[in-house]
Amino acid sequence: MSSTAGQVIRCKAAVAWEAGKPLVIEEVEVAPPQKMEVRLKILFTSLCHTDVYFWEAKGQNPVFPRILGHEAGGIVESVGEGVTDLVPGDHVLPVFTGECKECAHCKSEESNMCNLLRINTDRGVMIHDEKSRFSINGKPIYHFVGTSTFSEYTVTHVGCVAKINPLAPLDKVCILSCGISTGLGATLNVAKPKKGSSVAVFGLGAVGLAAAEGARIAGASRIIGVDVNSSRFEHAKKFGVTEFVNPKECKKPVQEVIAEMTDGGVDRSVECTGNIDAMISAFECVHDGWGVAVLVGVPHKDAVFKTHPVNLLNERTLKGTFFGNYKPRSDLPSVVEKYMNKELELEKFITHEVPFAEINKAFDYMLKGEGLRCIIRMD
């Protein structure tokens, strides 16, 4: 065990004290892991739009002060009671959702939505005792989606940690713990395009480009990128996108435009915006008889999906997915191996890098729509 095992660790963390205000680098105390928990030393983390959304606190229960962050790579520092499959020194990816391996969902080959550990954005404490492991001068600082990776050390449930190949560069594979795996898995695990098929991807942000990357890996011959921002089109070519459609420039509904381009519709579509109109278009643009549309984006809570039932009766399939249908502990190690085998390219998703002290720059980049993923170096 490490020399710090069982002790409180004092380290730096970027604390969100209130909604929309710059994070503040503070010295925090991180308590030892309790039953079925692990304490991690975070080496690299990256910023995802979900962090920004909950930092802005628009449309959900605000929980502050809080340590955000959920895309990261690190090393196990110590383990709590009952943890048997991780030891100090293991290289890991913490994940915002989990895999207890005991519930009905975990035992099912079809689901990754663990009853115990699926994402809970309102919870700011650990499941074991409903207390935070972070504090400043004795006052609790709340957790975020069970990970809180904007801290040099963090505590997570063992079920939210994927043990990976120690040779994998953590500054690259850290981005697999959320958005990239979500888009990649939506294509490879859910849409499952055949070699030579056509795929439409709605939304060319990081998740959408990961979906396009999945289509490229699967051998799709046509990958149609759909986005209202035409400046994204050139960069998307690096991810296998072959054609582009901007709905704002279309004189008819984009699903009709795509159907005309593809002699009746694409074989598969993946929707990565959360915009309800894009969701409907993604479904209605797939070919009757065999077309499959997969919804990835999270819609507004009041949004309603409307389409004519005949679209379903004509043998189009509509599916949803969560985290690309990957089980975090069981499946993420194999996604890392796709990168190690040069089957999956991650470098092209990483557009910026900043030291931990300049973490607010990462927020600036994302708010300005600049780049895809910004790596934050914790050293």
Active site residue 174: no
pLDDT class of 58 with cuts at 50, 70, 90? confident
Active site residue 49: yes
Active site residue 114: yes
pLDDT class of 62 with cuts at 50, 70, 90? confident
Active site residue 118: yes
Q: Which helix (H) or strand (E) holds 367?
A: helix 359-367
Given 37, 39, 66, 71, the catalytic residue: 71
Active site residue 91: no
Given 48, 174, 272, 285, the catalytic residue: 48
Whether 327 contacts 167, CB under 8 Å:
no
Query: Does the pLDDT of residue 36 top 90, yes or no?
Result: yes
Look at 31-35, 300-304, 338-342 and tell me which has the smallest mean pLDDT. Answer: 300-304
Strands 198-202 and 268-271: parallel
Active site residue 123: no
Whole-number Cα distances in Å, 147 to 51, 94, 134, 143, 255: 11, 6, 12, 7, 39
What's the sign of the alpha-carbon dihedral 230, 318, 52, 98? negative
pTM recorded for the entire structure: 0.96
**What does pLDDT average to over the chain?**
97
The distance in angstroms from the start CA to the end CA of the chain is 22
Asked, as a colleague might, if the bond just before 65 is cis with ω within 30 of 0, I would say yes
pLDDT class of 59 with cuts at 50, 70, 90? low
Helix (H/G/I), strand (E/B), else coil: 314: coil
Q: What is the mean pLDDT of the segment spanning 199-207?
A: 98
Query: Does the pLDDT of residue 199 top 90, yes or no?
Result: yes
Active site residue 50: yes
Query: Does the pLDDT of residue 1 top 70, yes or no?
Result: no
User: Per DSSP, which regions of the chain are E strands?
Assistant: 9-15, 24-30, 37-46, 71-79, 91-94, 134-136, 139-141, 153-157, 161-163, 198-202, 222-226, 243-245, 268-271, 292-295, 317-320, 350-355, 373-377
* Tokens found for residue 329: 């502990």
Active site residue 373: yes
Please indicate whether residue 210 or residue 59 has the higher confidence score (pLDDT): 210
The C-alpha R_g of the chain, in whole angstroms, comes to 21
Q: What is the pLDDT of residue 325?
A: 98
Query: Does the pLDDT of residue 301 top 90, yes or no?
Result: no
Given 66, 118, 143, 157, the catalytic residue: 118
Query: Does the pLDDT of residue 149 top 70, yes or no?
Result: yes
Cα 17 to the chain's mean position, in Å? 24
Whole-number Cα distances in Å, 50 to 63, 190, 197, 232, 297: 14, 22, 32, 20, 11
Q: What is the pLDDT of residues 64-122, one digit of tens each?
A: 999 999 999 999 999 999 999 999 999 999 999 999 999 999 999 999 999 999 999 99
Q: What is the pLDDT of residue 12?
A: 98
Query: Which distant-in-sequence residues (6+ apart) come within 8 Å of 176 by Cβ?
Result: 93, 332, 335, 336, 339, 346
Q: What is the pLDDT of residue 300?
A: 87
